[in-house]
Amino acid sequence: MTKMVAETMTPAPMTMFLSALALGIWPLILLTLFAAAADVLSGVVGTGSSLLLLPPLVWLYGPRVAVPIMGIAAVIGNVGRVIVWWRRIAWRPVVAYAVPGVPAAALGAHTLLSIPPTVVDGALAVFFLAMIALRRSAAVKRWRFRTWHMAVAGAVVGFLTGMVLSTGPLSVPIFTAYGLSGGAFLGTEAASSLLLYGGKLATFGASGALDGSTILRGLAIGAALMFGSIAARRIVERIGTQTYDVLIDLVLASGAATMVVTIIR
């Protein structure tokens, strides 16, 4: 009898470990830690966390599940940035960007559930690489967006945001062309993205794409992203313009690589 009890109790820790692994707890813990580190970079340049998290998310859960998870996480992460930079947010471009962008994001999310977004991912990869060269050109440095430009950009980026895992690098040249930088850029871009992701998630919820496990994973990663945004504030206030530009170019390059990974996956 004692032997039977011992045999029953001995493998319990291993059984618990295997059960946790089967439920995806350990990968989620690692993803959460990685998300906190990724959002420090994202909190500095305004984007990048989604691109860095995309490969492991797609690898672990597949693109159909990874998109809603990242959508939930992005909402929470952007809430963190809005809180940190609240006083510097420029609300006029936020409204102009979000009014057409929210319904466009909902339409894009509905499209994602209907067709494979491989072609869009490929086009974005080319665009991100092209933006590195364009950002360094004298012509692009003279770009100046007005409020109506923001409305047009919001509609386009909103639709793409609904379809693909990340369009963060697209928003960087748009909001910088409006004349925003530093904390004003970070807060304004975050507030706009928050509204767009809200429209995206509403569509996923109505379509039944948000189950319990997806929501929990998104909340865990989002909490880590919020922490990264808060930790990044002091870095933003200390770095120079040249360093800031280099970091944005690195994020654009990462965006192109991420889209390629998505297509291959």
Per-residue confidence (pLDDT) for residue 20, from 0 to 100: 42
Please give the structure tokens belonging to residue 138.
């004298």
Query: pLDDT class for 234, splitting at 50, 70, 90?
Result: low
Per-residue confidence (pLDDT) for residue 102, from 0 to 100: 94
Give me the mean pLDDT over the 246-264 stretch: 71
Per-residue confidence (pLDDT) for residue 100, from 0 to 100: 96
Q: Is the pLDDT of residue 91 over 60?
A: yes
Contact (Cβ atoms closer than 8 angstroms) between residue 94 and residue 191: yes
Work out the angle between the directed axes of helices 12-23 and 25-45 (0-180°, nearest 10).
Answer: 40
Contact (Cβ atoms closer than 8 angstroms) between residue 49 and residue 42: yes
pLDDT in tens, 117-162: 676 667 667 767 776 776 666 555 667 899 999 999 999 999 988 8
pTM summary value: 0.70
Share of the chain above pLDDT 90, in %: 15
Q: What is the DSSP string of 207-224?
A: TT---HHHHHHHHHHHHH
Q: Is the pLDDT of residue 194 over 70?
A: yes
How far apart CA 101 and CA 91 sit, in angstroms, is: 15
How far apart CA 166 and CA 108 sit, in angstroms, is: 12
254-258 CB contacts, 8 Å cutoff, 24+ apart: 254/48, 254/51, 254/52, 255/51, 255/124, 255/125, 255/128, 255/166, 255/168, 255/169, 256/124, 256/125, 256/126, 256/128, 256/129, 257/125, 258/51, 258/52, 258/54, 258/55, 258/165, 258/166
Query: pLDDT class for 4, splitting at 50, 70, 90?
Result: very low
How far apart CA 219 and CA 225 sit, in angstroms, is: 10
Per-residue confidence (pLDDT) for residue 94, from 0 to 100: 96
Q: Is the pLDDT of residue 225 over 60?
A: yes
Per-residue confidence (pLDDT) for residue 56, from 0 to 100: 76
Q: Name which of 162, 156, 182 is nearest 171 in CA terms.
A: 156
Q: Name which of 179, 193, 261 is nearest 46 in CA terms.
A: 193
How far apart CA 144 and CA 105 sit, in angstroms, is: 25
Helix (H) or strand (E) holding 230: helix 212-231
The domain limits of the chain are 25-264
How far apart CA 68 and CA 64 sit, in angstroms, is: 7
Per-residue confidence (pLDDT) for residue 130, from 0 to 100: 73
